[in-house]
């Protein structure tokens, strides 16, 4: 059996938060061990940013907070202690060359996420932090004291056997539930439940949406740039736009995806159970009047054509039959016979292309997990569980999440840098 007595702190999970926690604590003189169930570090980190790792956003704190979707206030201490600029400085100190791209997204200059993992593991090695791979932790042991509860240790599975390890300082950095093949299977969330701590129900977020109202196979693969999406749902019996954004989206075999859809998914869980409609404005730069003028011009140029052949310059090819069907205009009608009222129908179809949201894709496709250990359970200045001395939770396992753009990794770094 392995000897653990030499360690001051056990960190569970060698992902973004766990590695940064190891560095932070070792720099403060602690003897640290990281236990990881995979056979290598940072499996999720490796696939971030499409393999390039968007490790933070080069923005001020105001923008950083604006991009945190769940519990931004909880992050005040962590971010005032370690913000995006600090992340950039620290990784440069580690010897990683960085570059900033569109929207402030920061990547390694090499475009390789493996370089981010490599500088972290090199630093951990220099600081004599041990990393034990193929070590799955299966629970946190807590002692019931007279006045409060304290961490006693953890349960580890090694070579198929489970044994107890004693330690008074444990950091849970096991991640959420998204992309479970990377090792993030929600273990820390389950332990929190077992310890009687409050957990916000984990839900897939930054995730594609399933919709009805179109034949997905027909539109599959169609990518739309510069569209405006609005999600409308019923709040207290009234129709309300609950999310609106401009950007890029695409149609898939099950529904919709792409940047604006992923972001929207993070704001929609509040309205689960209500009917949510997605309206796509396919021509957001034009008012209805301007769009009508444009259609009139197009029709004038195609005076002898049938309606079905007169939309080529206005819409992507795949969308034309769908819009024609929705407009209820006879496709074989000559354009000069299309009435003003019919044109109005056409304009509505283009400016308010509507679909019904029927669900979210699962955790397998979720970039992050919304939910996790309830932040009320944590001291925001130390990440310690208020009711269990010596137990700390950091990273995505905590109920705090942000939009895409490097913000989620920033949350992991900031929480980890708070540790003492
Ligand atoms: C496809 C994809 C792309 C992304 N791209 C970006 C991006 O470019 N920028 C960005 O900011 N964010 C991105 N994210 C989100 C980001 O990766 C996560 O928010 C971040 O990795 C969370 O870090 P973490 O350390 O809390 O958890 P994780 O990185 O999930 O690490 C948790 C670790 O704990 C280990 N573990 C779990 N349970 C146990 C156990 N019982 N015993 C031992 N070890 C255990 C796991 O194996 C894993 O290694 C992306 C996510 C995905 C899925």
Residue 14 CA to ligand 1 centre (angstroms): 9
Question: Is the pLDDT assigned to residue 298 strictly greater than 60?
Answer: yes
**Shared domain check, 349 and 374:** no
Instruction: Identify which has the larger pLDDT, 22 or 3.
Output: 22
Number of C-beta neighbours around residue 212 at 10 A = 11
pLDDT in tens, 254-263: 999 999 999 9
Both structure tokens of 155: 């349960």
Question: Is the pLDDT assigned to residue 155 strictly greater than 90?
Answer: yes
Cβ–Cβ < 8 Å for 295, 289: no
Give the residue, out of 20, 36, 44, with the most ligand 1 atoms within 8 A of its beta carbon, to mutate for a pocket test.
Answer: 44
**Shared domain check, 217 and 197:** no
**Shared domain check, 388 and 349:** no
**Shared domain check, 396 and 318:** no
Number of C-beta neighbours around residue 5 at 10 A = 7
The predicted model gives 347-361 an average pLDDT of 97
Cβ–Cβ < 8 Å for 353, 249: no
**Shared domain check, 68 and 103:** yes
**Shared domain check, 321 and 393:** no
* Separation CA 38–CA 174 (nearest Å): 12
**Shared domain check, 350 and 291:** yes
Question: Does any domain span residue 297?
Answer: yes
Q: 376: pLDDT confidence band, cut at 50, 70 and 90?
A: very high
Task: Choose the final residue of a domain: 361, 382, 401.
Answer: 361
Residue 117 CA to ligand 1 centre (angstroms): 12
Give the CATH number of the domain where residue 236 resides.
Answer: 1.10.8.100
**Shared domain check, 114 and 32:** yes
Instruction: Give bridge partners of residue 356 from the DSSP assignment.
Output: 212, 277
pTM above 0.85, yes or no: yes
The three-class DSSP label of residue 86 is: helix
**Nearest C-alpha to atom 6 of ligand 1 is from which residue?**
48
Residue 178 CA to ligand 1 centre (angstroms): 8
**Mean pLDDT of all residues in the chain?**
96
Residue 358 pLDDT: 96
Kindly list the protein residues whose Cβ atom lies closer than 6 A to any atom of ligand 1: 12-18, 35-38, 43-45, 47-49, 53-54, 136-137, 173-175, 178-179, 183-184, 187, 367-368, 395-396, 406-409, 412
Residue 2 pLDDT: 64
Both structure tokens of 414: 């900031």
Ligand 1 atom with least separation from CA of 183: 47
Q: How many domains does the chain have?
A: 2
Measured CA distances, 391 to 141, 151, 177, 374 (Å): 10, 6, 21, 14
pLDDT in tens, 256-296: 999 999 999 999 999 999 999 999 999 999 999 999 999 99
**Shared domain check, 252 and 140:** no
* Separation CA 346–CA 335 (nearest Å): 12
* Separation CA 257–CA 263 (nearest Å): 10
* Separation CA 324–CA 346 (nearest Å): 8
Question: What DSSP line would sit under 361-401, residue for residue?
Answer: --GGG-SEEEEEE-GGGB-TTT-BBTTEETEEE-GGGBS-E
Cβ–Cβ < 8 Å for 248, 224: yes
Question: Does any domain span residue 4?
Answer: no
**Shared domain check, 308 and 177:** no
Question: Does any domain span residue 2?
Answer: no
pLDDT in tens, 86-139: 999 999 999 999 999 999 999 999 999 999 999 999 999 999 999 999 999 999
Specify the length of the chain in residues. Answer: 420
Domain of residue 305 covers 208-361
Question: Does any domain span residue 68?
Answer: yes
Q: 243: pLDDT confidence band, cut at 50, 70 and 90?
A: very high
Q: 67: pLDDT confidence band, cut at 50, 70 and 90?
A: very high
Give the CATH number of the domain where residue 88 resides.
Answer: 3.50.50.60
**Shared domain check, 381 and 340:** no
């Amino acid at each position: 059996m392995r000897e653990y007595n030499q360690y001051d702190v056990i960190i569970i999970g060698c992902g973004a938060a766990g590695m940064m926690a190891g560095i932070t604590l070792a720099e403060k003189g602690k003897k640290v061990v990281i236990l990881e169930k995979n056979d290598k570090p940072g499996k999720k980190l490796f696939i971030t940013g499409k393999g390039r790792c968007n490790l933070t956003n080069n923005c001020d704190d105001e923008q950083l907070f604006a991009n945190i979707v769940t519990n931004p206030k909880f992050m005040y201490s962590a971010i005032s202690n370690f913000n995006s600029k600090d992340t950039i400085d620290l990784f440069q100190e580690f010897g990683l060359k960085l570059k900033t791209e569109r929207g402030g997204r920061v990547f390694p200059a090499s475009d390789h996420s493996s370089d981010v993992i490599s500088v972290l593991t090199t630093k951990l090695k220099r600081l004599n932090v041990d990393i034990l791979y193929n070590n799955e932790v299966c629970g946190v042991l807590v002692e019931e004291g007279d006045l409060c509860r304290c961490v006693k240790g953890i349960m580890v599975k090694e070579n198929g056997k489970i044994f107890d390890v004693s330690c008074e300082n444990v950091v849970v950095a096991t991640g959420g539930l998204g992309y479970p093949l990377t090792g993030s299977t929600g273990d820390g969330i389950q332990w929190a439940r077992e310890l009687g701590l409050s957990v916000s129900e984990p839900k897939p977020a930054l995730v594609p949406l399933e919709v009805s109202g179109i034949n997905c196979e027909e539109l599959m693969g169609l990518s739309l740039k510069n569209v405006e999406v609005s999600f409308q749902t019923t709040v207290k019996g009234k129709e309300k736009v609950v999310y609106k954004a401009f950007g890029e989206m695409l149609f898939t075999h099950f529904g919709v995806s792409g940047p604006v859809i992923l972001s929207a998914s993070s704001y929609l869980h509040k309205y689960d159970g209500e009917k949510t409609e997605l309206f796509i404005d396919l021509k957001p730069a034009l008012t209805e009047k301007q769009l009508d003028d444009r259609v009139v011009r197009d029709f004038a140029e195609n005076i002898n054509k049938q309606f079905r052949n007169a939309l080529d310059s206005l819409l992507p090819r795949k969308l034309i039959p769908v819009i024609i069907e929705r407009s209820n205009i006879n496709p074989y009608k000559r354009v000069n016979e299309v009435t003003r009222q019919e044109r109005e129908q056409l304009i509505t179809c283009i400016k308010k292309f509507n679909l019904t949201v029927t669900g979210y894709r699962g955790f397998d496709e979720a970039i992050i997990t919304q939910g996790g250990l309830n932040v009320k359970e944590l001291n925001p200045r130390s990440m310690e569980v208020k009711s269990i001395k010596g137990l700390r939770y950091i990273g995505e396992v905590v109920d705090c999440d942000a939009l895409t753009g490097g913000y989620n990794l920033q949350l992991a770094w900031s929480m980890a840098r708070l540790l003492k």
